[in-house]
Amino acid sequence: MKTIPTTLAIGILALFLSAQANAGDAAHTSEAMEHAGKAQAHGEDGHAKVLLKHAKESLAHAKEAGKEHAEAHKHMDEAIKHLEEAITHAEAGHAEVAAKHTQEAIIHMRESGH
């Protein structure tokens, strides 16, 4: 009789752990998109230094999301490339160009499906 409650408890635990893993995957993509959006907005306002900060945060989360989402790897790779370009342009003070790259990064993050 102890087998049924034990099996049920193990099943619930497995479900809980898998849900937590999936939530962690989505969290990186969500954070990457949030920071990329902030970077884009600051770039459009001409704030290269603030754009740079948010683009770097977005890049860190995008790289983590890329590792976690094998099926979405292609889109996250493209997002990472655009974020790296945004950082390069923000460091040079080219806020508008950097904003366009963060916009492209957001598009690829959305297309990643996470």
Does the residue 89 lie in any domain? yes
- Is the whole-model pTM more than 0.95? no
Does the residue 48 lie in any domain? yes
d(CA 34, CA 54): 9
Does the residue 21 lie in any domain? no
CA distances from 74 to 43, 88, 97 (A): 26, 21, 23
**What's the mean pLDDT in 49-57?**
93
pLDDT bracket for residue 101 (50, 70, 90)? very high
Number of structural domains found in the chain: 1
> At 47, which CATH number?
1.20.120.660
Does the residue 76 lie in any domain? yes
Q: Which domain, by its residues, includes 52?
A: 28-111
pLDDT bracket for residue 1 (50, 70, 90)? very low
pLDDT bracket for residue 10 (50, 70, 90)? low
- Statement: residue 11 has pLDDT above 80: no
Does the residue 99 lie in any domain? yes
Does the residue 106 lie in any domain? yes
